[in-house]
Amino acid sequence: MPLRRYRDRVVNLAYHLLRSREDAEDTAQEAFTQAFSAINSFRGESQFWTWLYRITVNLCLHRRRRAKPCESLDEQEQNDAEEHTDAGAQAVTKLMVERTLDQLSAPLRVVLILRETHDLNYEEIAAVLNIPVGTVRSRLSAARLKFRQLWQDAENEEEQHR
Amino acid sequence: MNCREMKRHLPDYAEGEIAAARAAEIEAHLAVCAACRARLETLHGERHSVRRALQALPRIQASPDFERRVLEALPERMALPQRMVRPLSLFDRLDAVFARPVCKLLGSSVFGLLCGLLIVSLLAPRSLSAGDSPAPGDTTAPSVLAAVSEGTDEVAAIRQLRRLYALGRRSGAAEDDGLHWLHHVEKVGKQAPQEKPPRLQSLPRSNKKEPPWNAGILVSPSSSSSGSWC
């Protein structure tokens, strides 16, 4: 039940945080394995999926930290090349979004992804990240502001290249 | 509500993260204040521009062998006992029933009587022959399936599984059946009436609070903070 119900969501969360399908699958698999094997430590005070999401986010952040910056960049470019078979505006937009997200700090990036691509509300994000709702609100506001600024810069840069 | 208060509450209102009573006050003010309406429109525009951009991120599906890989990795992490796949004994059932808070009081009053039953049940044969193990695809298989089907939500199922797990460990049975355990968990998931495919594609957010995904699967709009399931 938990595995089938949440597998795509967890894989997508990892994918949006890591940008590599292979890394996302590995991380999601590890998250499920950790969650199930530690089921006795799940006290039921939070919802199971928020616990699972927290494990996933922590694993993703750990994985990103562990990756060397130059390797990470190379891998990302390779992934971009592999996944951008649909050339065109959509692919360009995806690249711009990913690069803009990469320029956000990890706390801002995570909160923005949980909110805008996974549709979690403030309280759910707070539960996943184990932070107060007020912190979610301020991080989200800062993340949006920063994202819009960076997005504007990216659009201007794109215009200049044309 | 005045414009100063509106400035403080409008961002949450634009996010759909505000209590109904407060939302009503805001809407009353918006009906008569053009400046605040303009501010709200700006907030909506800013929010939707970011949201629209992020929607460009692709959604992927787990690979077909994802479950298999998790199931294969699990036995190394958690050794589950063989008796997890046998039918629930009277002992198991009584133990599960009396774990519920409402039954604890009643249970204590008849504890002496039940002790006799439990002892008899504990002395009953517990192990299964190989032929009794649930075959793959056998959705009527007992034990974990039976335990979970009695629960009404996922948390209850997890708790019940944990109790069974603890029972199995106490009995010192062979610890080699993690796969069977999870197969059963998955079968129950298939049968769960509230199960629906996840809604991966986000819909535009209204001012009303929405569940993170399909309402009714995980959290109801009003129960996200209460930890309610289904």
Among B196, B160, B3, B4, which Cα is nearest to B84's?
Answer: B160
pLDDT at B122 over 60: yes
Asked if residue B96 is part of any domain, the answer here is yes
Among B205, B204, B224, which Cα is nearest to B216's?
Answer: B224
Q: Which residue of B has its CA nearest to A46?
A: B227
**Per-residue pLDDT, B197:** 39
Asked if residue B212 is part of any domain, the answer here is no
Domains held by chain B: number: 2
Average of per-residue pLDDT across B66-79: 70
Across the A/B interface, how many CB contacts are shorter than 8 Å?
A: 162
Question: Of the ranges A41-45, B38-42, B179-183, which is most confident?
Answer: B38-42
Same domain? For B21 and B111 the reply is: no
Same domain? For B96 and B175 the reply is: yes
- The answer to whether the Cβ–Cβ distance between A7 and B46 falls below 8 Å is no
Asked if residue B72 is part of any domain, the answer here is no
Same domain? For B88 and B160 the reply is: yes
pLDDT at B36 over 60: yes
Same domain? For B114 and B182 the reply is: yes
**Per-residue pLDDT, B96:** 61
Contacts of A148 in chain B (CB under 8 A): 46, 49-50
Same domain? For B35 and B116 the reply is: no
Burial of A43 (0-12, 13-18, 19+ CB in 10 A): exposed
Whole-angstrom CA distances from B179 to A11, A108, A147 are 21, 38, 44
- The answer to whether the Cβ–Cβ distance between B67 and A7 falls below 8 Å is yes
Q: CB-hemisphere CA count at 13 Å for A7?
A: 21
pLDDT at B139 over 90: no
Average of per-residue pLDDT across A59-73: 71
Same domain? For B33 and B106 the reply is: no
Ordered by start, the domain boundaries in chain A are 1-83, 87-162
Asked if residue B214 is part of any domain, the answer here is no
Same domain? For B183 and B90 the reply is: yes
Where do the H-state alpha helices sit in chain B? 3-15, 20-30, 34-54, 66-77, 90-97, 101-109, 111-123, 144-149, 154-171, 178-191
Same domain? For B42 and B86 the reply is: no
- Give chain A's largest Cα–Cα span: 57
Asked if residue B178 is part of any domain, the answer here is yes
- Give the domain extent around B49: 3-54
pLDDT of B182-230, one tens digit each? 455 545 444 444 444 344 334 344 444 444 444 333 333 333 333 333 2
How far A107 CA sits from the closest chain B CA (Å)? 16
**Per-residue pLDDT, A36:** 77
Asked if residue B227 is part of any domain, the answer here is no
Q: pLDDT grade, residue B111 (50/70/90)?
A: confident
A11, A47, A118: residue with CB nearest B62? A11
Among A86, A87, A88, A72, which Cα is nearest to A19's?
Answer: A72
- The answer to whether the Cβ–Cβ distance between A1 and B54 falls below 8 Å is no
Same domain? For B112 and B149 the reply is: yes
Last residue of a domain, one of B38, B54, B70: B54
pLDDT of A95-152, one tens digit each? 888 889 989 999 999 999 999 999 999 999 999 999 999 999 999 999 999 999 998 8
Q: Which residue of B has its CA nearest to A41?
A: B162
Same domain? For B111 and B24 the reply is: no
Higher pLDDT, B26 or A160: B26
CATH architecture of the domain covering A87-162: Orthogonal Bundle (1.10)
Asked if residue B7 is part of any domain, the answer here is yes
How far A104 CA sits from the closest chain B CA (Å)? 13
B51, B211, B217: residue with CB nearest A116? B51
The fold of the A1-83 domain, in CATH, is: Rna Polymerase Sigma Factor; Chain: A (1.10.1740)
Contacts of B195 in chain A (CB under 8 A): 1, 5
Question: Of the ranges A84-88, B64-68, B109-113, which is most confident?
Answer: B64-68
Same domain? For B96 and B39 the reply is: no
Q: CB-hemisphere CA count at 13 Å for B68?
A: 3
Whole-angstrom CA distances from A130 to A49, B150, B222 are 13, 32, 20
Average of per-residue pLDDT across A20-47: 84
**Per-residue pLDDT, A120:** 94
pLDDT of B170-195, one tens digit each? 544 444 444 455 455 545 444 444 44
Contacts of A97 in chain B (CB under 8 A): 53-54, 56-57
**Per-residue pLDDT, B224:** 37
ipTM, two decimals, is 0.80
pLDDT at A24 over 90: yes
Tell me what the pLDDT averaged over chain B comes to: 62
Asked if residue B104 is part of any domain, the answer here is yes
